[in-house]
Structure 1
């Protein structure tokens, strides 16, 4: 894969209770995402010193893989449920310039 289809999503959560519930929702959703063949990387980060922020980094084999991800029941459920925990959402779609990624066998 020369390049993929990538995005980051920055979620600002309402409060610490919302953050805990959002994290549980994300962990539950990840169970389904792990079975998506076109999802190369899907990682949730918490920025240092920002306990109410989560940054998702998502890399898909191509745009079709992203669309397949969006159509999955676990993704649709996440998209429907997440709003109750959020104060703000920012999405950035990315063009790859250079990089390093796992090979087809999953090795770095």
Structure 2
């Protein structure tokens, strides 16, 4: 079963937000090419909140997420991100319904 999370990052200021974006961008190519179990990894900005970034991550399963967390590029990101942030909030998700690459899903049935 898929495993997801949403992470809300608040950067200290606009310069920190820019540096954080560069740090995150450096990971994306590695995620795209080396993590088949990472189904979605999307970075969002929030209108009216220029220092906020929201990541939406979807993995094939919990094991794929754990493998993602072990990758050198992610270990680097996790070690470096704190210097740019005022706060972060992680929400883990279990999908019960929706539409994805495999079609409609309803886990409630």
Q: TM-score, normalised by structure 2?
A: 0.90
Please list every run of 5 or more consecutive structure 2 residues that lacks an aligned counterpart in the other structure.
103-109
Partner Cα distance (1:44, 1:85) in 2: 16
Displacement of 1:101 in angstroms is: 1.3
Aligned length: 101
Higher strand share: 2
Q: What corresponds to 1:33 in structure 2?
A: 31
Please list every run of 5 or more consecutive structure 1 residues that lacks an aligned counterpart in the other structure.
104-108
Q: Secondary structure at the match of 2:58?
A: strand
Displacement of 1:97 in angstroms is: 1.4
Displacement of 1:31 in angstroms is: 1.2
Deviations for 1:53-78, whole angstroms, at most 9, x for unmatched residues?
Answer: 00000000000000000000000000
Two-structure CA RMSD over aligned residues (Å)? 0.8
Q: Once superposed, which parts of structure 1, at least 4 consecutive aligned residues long, lie more than 6 Å away?
A: none
Q: What corresponds to 1:18 in structure 2?
A: 16
Q: TM-score, normalised by structure 1?
A: 0.91
Q: Secondary structure at the match of 1:83?
A: helix
